[in-house]
Structure 1
Amino acid sequence: MNLLPLIAALFWSTAWSGTLLEFKSSEPAWYARNDTVMGGVSNSRVRVDGGVLLFTGQVRLENNGGFSGIRSTPSRVDLSAFSRLILRVKGDGKRYALQLGTSTGNGVTYRNEFDTVPGQWIEVSVPLASLRPTRFGERVTGPALNPSDVVFFGLVIGNNRAERFALQVDWIKGQ
């Protein structure tokens, strides 16, 4: 009996159960994706410091703007073993959205919003089934998220108001 497939399956499920992103280094790299892609003037900064992802900036409404976001560099991630993602975050009391993308070219992302508590670390649970297809922040008709096709993670703020923001992320886990 060949035990290699069983051992590989056990290793894969163990390796992918639990923490997906810990921010112990700058890998994967993250980059800003703000409303400047549409003529807006919002700005954000993302960096990893002390094992925490820091997403800060200012949303501005001029030139039909209104959002700031960040994304991880594209790399295929299979989340099909999970029903939800858990994020440990410290925010500023504002609402943010978790985004998952299955393509870097079609503009569709899958997102759901979550609230933060000012200055407190909390765990936010986002069921994968709750992520809805959007394009430019608006819901669109489309297929449900295929968790085995994820190519990037993202975080966005766009609350229809000009505001400074600061979000820290300690880790993202699958469950």
Structure 2
Amino acid sequence: MLSDTIFDFNKTSNTDHWNVVDDAVMGGKSSGLFYLDTAGKGVFEGHVSLENNGGFSTVKYSFDAISTKGFSKISFKVKGDGKAYQFRIKRKSTDKYAYINYFNSTKDWETFELTLSEMYPTFKGRKLDMPNYDQDSIEEVAFLIANKKAEDFKLEIDSIVLS
């Protein structure tokens, strides 16, 4: 089966292009952190706060364009905390909107597989009147938590792959 690895974490992974963006950009008080743990997994953890109309934390990875031609799915192996997360992709990292879908994490390592054509465009939490993902490349992937409640979170990431 044809596949293309977007990111595969290990003990020597360079995480310089992984960045956390919290609701602090709009005055909120959420705080996310991203780091490589001793096992070589990416860890996105922190606290979502609803103070000052906040309520989200995201970690995003930007990279040179990867072609999605010939691929229909994107999969990622994660271990969570039982909470719902959003997985996001952008055709261009400078796009204001993202194509998204949701998954419910578990406390076990699990591989989620999302169909690219089922990912739908959103901007600031609102679904846009545009077609679902039908592009030929991506430059950014992200994980976001925004469950409309104050909560601690932790998501461990092993790999992200096109297939």
Both structures adopt the same fold (TM-score exceeding 0.5): yes
Tell me the SS of whatever aligns to 1:76: strand
How many residues align? The count is 160
Segments of 5+ residues of structure 2 without an aligned counterpart are: none
Tell me the SS of whatever aligns to 1:73: strand
Tell me the SS of whatever aligns to 2:66: coil
Deviation digits for residues 28-61 of structure 1, max 9, x if unmatched? Answer: 6200111112211111011223331110011000
Task: Quote the residue 1:7 is aligned against.
Answer: none
Task: Quote the residue 2:105 is aligned against.
Answer: 116
| Offset, 1:27 | 4.6
Segments of 5+ residues of structure 1 without an aligned counterpart are: 1-12
Tell me the SS of whatever aligns to 1:142: coil
| Structure-1 separation of matches of 2:93 and 2:22 | 15
| Structure-1 separation of matches of 2:84 and 2:98 | 18
Task: Quote the residue 2:46 is aligned against.
Answer: 57
Would the alpha carbon gap of residues 149 and 19 (structure 1) be closer, same or farther in structure 2, given more than 3 Å must change? closer
Task: Quote the residue 1:79 is aligned against.
Answer: 68
More divergent stretch after superposition (88-97 vs 140-149): 140-149
Task: Quote the residue 2:21 is aligned against.
Answer: 33
TM-score by length of 2: 0.89
Contact persistence 1:26–1:47 (CA under 8 A)? no
| Offset, 1:120 | 0.7
Contact persistence 1:43–1:57 (CA under 8 A)? yes
| Structure-2 separation of matches of 1:18 and 1:74 | 14
Q: Structure 1: which amino acid aligns with 2:80? A: G
| Structure-2 separation of matches of 1:106 and 1:171 | 24
| Structure-2 separation of matches of 1:140 and 1:97 | 16
More strand by share: 2
Whether 1:100 and 2:56 are equivalent positions in the alignment is: no
Supply the RMSD in Å over aligned alpha carbons: 1.8
Task: Quote the residue 1:129 is aligned against.
Answer: 117
Q: Percent identity?
A: 31
Q: Structure 1: which amino acid aligns with 2:70? A: A
Contact persistence 1:112–1:131 (CA under 8 A)? yes
1:158 corresponds, among 136, 146, 149, to 146
Contact persistence 2:62–2:93 (CA under 8 A)? no
